[in-house]
Amino acid sequence: MTYNINNKGYYGDFGGAFIPEMLYPNVEELRQKYLNVMSEPSFEKEFNQLLKDYVGRPSPLYFAKRLSEKYNTKIYLKREDLNHTGAHKINNTIGQILMAKRLGKTRIIAETGAGQHGVATATVCALIGLECIVYMGEIDIARQAPNVARMKMLGATVVPATSGSKTLKDATNEAIRDWINNPVDTHYIIGSVVGPHPYPDMVARFQSVVSKEIQEQLQAREGIAKPDYIVACVGGGSNAAGAYYHFLDDTEVKLIAVEAAGHGVDSGESAATSVLGKEGIIHGSKTLLMQTKDGQITEPYSISAGLDYPGVGPMHAHLYKTGRAEFIAITDDQAMTAGLELCKLEGIIPAIESAHALAIFEQKEFKPNDIVVVSLSGRGDKDLDTYIKHFGL
């Protein structure tokens, strides 16, 4: 039994590549080449060098002493918030821009919701010198002005998606349409472990540097290369996939996936896909997603833009169905409280996505000797307005 992908592109029952015929040549080219490219020594060297000198890796594994005392267990924070651009997303965009270069592509497209993935993509396009077009819903453009400005400063063209609900899913449709029309010169950088095979596997591999570092850092610090628990928030699932990756098949390491309950799982305003989702196909892969009886995708809700996604990647659908990972849903209020607690106890302002992961210490008890690693996926600077409004600061 493995919890990783099989050679057909499936995690158990989930995954695959359900795509329009017009997209087949692009996805097939990537599928045939990605593993070979990634194992080229020159690729590995360039990727690792950029992770070190540009992103600032390895990110620290920080023992959170005061937080540990409060919850009477050993809590380590994997500090992805200290990466260049403020989150784990840059690990993936660096990998994919190098992949695009090796495949001879000259034009990059991406979709973005809140703009975090758009900024990470625009950043690496500037770094390598490739044209960058980011599709973004018209409504998101209006409510995420700072990230739109960042993308423009970095040289990207931001194209509004004006159809449907004018948000992430419409931006994704526009990006797919662009890719169909530009199959030869364009690479589509997807921002999480979602989409048709090979994207979930490719993105998980680029993010797997996180669990590799956790092994080395725990060995040095605790004399054992694995924790008892790994905790991560799940939007599409890429920071979780990176933190779990090297422990997936080691069941001594317990995995906890934290989803956004929004106003509550039963409130009608939630993004807790594992509880509310059913099997279906979204963005080219078979997975769990929130949908109506007729199979229409339900609009998700969470206070954190990064968790506001109606599906999860196929790896996480499999981890849920097999019980390999425990899924816990955290409300807006619980996450905000945990986020503020980290500020006061450790002097770290977390992204609201990451604050969801931190909120589990109020929900679940750990033993004093348990080693619990939490993926601190991003920093909270982007969320200051939301913190200000929520707490009336």
Ligand X SMILES: *Cc1c(COP(=O)(O)O)cnc(C)c1O
Q: Which of residues 81-110 bind ligand X (CB under 6 A)?
A: 87, 89
Catalytic residue from among 68, 78, 80, 111: 111
Interface mask toward ligand X for 313-352; x: CB under 6 A = --------------------------------------x-
Region binding ligand X by CB under 6 A among candidate stretches 47-55, 93-101, 149-157, 236-244 = 236-244
Query: Which residue has the closest beta carbon to ligand X?
Result: 378
Report, in Å, the least distance between residue 24 CB and ligand X.
25
Instruction: Work out the burial of residue 47: count CB atoms within 10 Å of its CB; fewer than 13 is exposed, 13-18 middle, 19 or more buried.
Output: buried
Q: Which of 317, 377, 383, 390 binds ligand X (CB under 6 A)?
A: 377
Q: Which of 235, 277, 284, 310 binds ligand X (CB under 6 A)?
A: 235
Residue 105 CA, distance from chain mean position: 24
The order of strands in the sheet holding 131-137 is 157-161, 131-137, 107-112, 186-188
Question: In the chain, at which residue ranges do the beta strands (DSSP E only) sit?
Answer: 10-11, 14-15, 61-63, 74-79, 107-112, 131-137, 157-161, 186-188, 229-233, 254-262, 278-282, 285-289, 325-331, 371-376
Report, in Å, the least distance between residue 378 CB and ligand X.
2
Report, in Å, the least distance between residue 30 CB and ligand X.
19
Q: Which of residues 187-206 bind ligand X (CB under 6 A)?
A: 192
**If binding is defined by CB under 6 A, does position 121 make contact with ligand X?**
no
Region binding ligand X by CB under 6 A among candidate stretches 55-63, 166-174, 180-188, 232-240 = 232-240
The residue among 74 and 353 lying less far from ligand X, judged by its C-beta, is 353
The residue among 74 and 95 lying less far from ligand X, judged by its C-beta, is 95
Q: Is 111 a catalytic residue?
A: yes
**If binding is defined by CB under 6 A, does position 239 make contact with ligand X?**
yes
The answer to whether residues 302 and 270 touch, using CB atoms and an 8 Å cutoff, is yes
Region binding ligand X by CB under 6 A among candidate stretches 36-44, 62-70, 213-221, 227-235 = 227-235
The answer to whether residues 129 and 78 touch, using CB atoms and an 8 Å cutoff, is no
Q: Which of residues 2-31 bind ligand X (CB under 6 A)?
A: none
Q: How many CB atoms lie within 10 A of CB 63?
A: 14
Reduce the secondary structure of 47-64 to three states and give it as a string. HHHHHHHHHCCCCCEEEC
The answer to whether residues 20 and 179 touch, using CB atoms and an 8 Å cutoff, is no
Catalytic residue from among 68, 78, 80, 89: 89
Reduce the secondary structure of 147-184 to three states and give it as a string. HHHHHHHCCCEEEEECCCCCCHHHHHHHHHHHHHHCCC
Interface mask toward ligand X for 57-76; x: CB under 6 A = --------------------
**If binding is defined by CB under 6 A, does position 234 make contact with ligand X?**
yes
**Separation between Cα atoms, residue 187 and residue 164, nearest integer Å:** 25
Q: DSSP assignment of 225-269, as one string?
A: S--SEEEEE-SSSHHHHHHHGGGTT-TTSEEEEEEEEET-TTSS-
Whose CA is closest to 203, among 358, 346, 90? 90
Q: What sign for the dihedral angle of Cα 48, 91, 52, 148?
A: positive
**If binding is defined by CB under 6 A, does position 176 make contact with ligand X?**
no
Q: Is 254 a catalytic residue?
A: no
Q: Which of 96, 172, 238, 302 binds ligand X (CB under 6 A)?
A: 238
**If binding is defined by CB under 6 A, does position 237 make contact with ligand X?**
yes
**Separation between Cα atoms, residue 144 and residue 142, nearest integer Å:** 6
One-letter amino acid for residue 75 of the chain: I
**If binding is defined by CB under 6 A, does position 357 make contact with ligand X?**
no
- At which residue do the structure tokens 């472990």 appear? 193
The residue among 182 and 386 lying less far from ligand X, judged by its C-beta, is 386
Three-state SS for 344? Answer: helix
In sequence order, what are the residues at sequence separation of 6 or more whose Cβ sits closer than 8 angstroms to the Cβ of residue 101? 128, 130
The residue among 74 and 303 lying less far from ligand X, judged by its C-beta, is 303
**If binding is defined by CB under 6 A, does position 262 make contact with ligand X?**
no
Q: Which of 16, 198, 262, 306 binds ligand X (CB under 6 A)?
A: 306
Region binding ligand X by CB under 6 A among candidate stretches 21-29, 37-45, 125-133, 229-237 = 229-237
Q: Is 33 a catalytic residue?
A: no
Q: Which residues bind ligand X (CB under 6 A)?
A: 87, 89, 116, 192, 233-239, 306-307, 351, 353-354, 377-378
List active site positions: 89, 111, 377
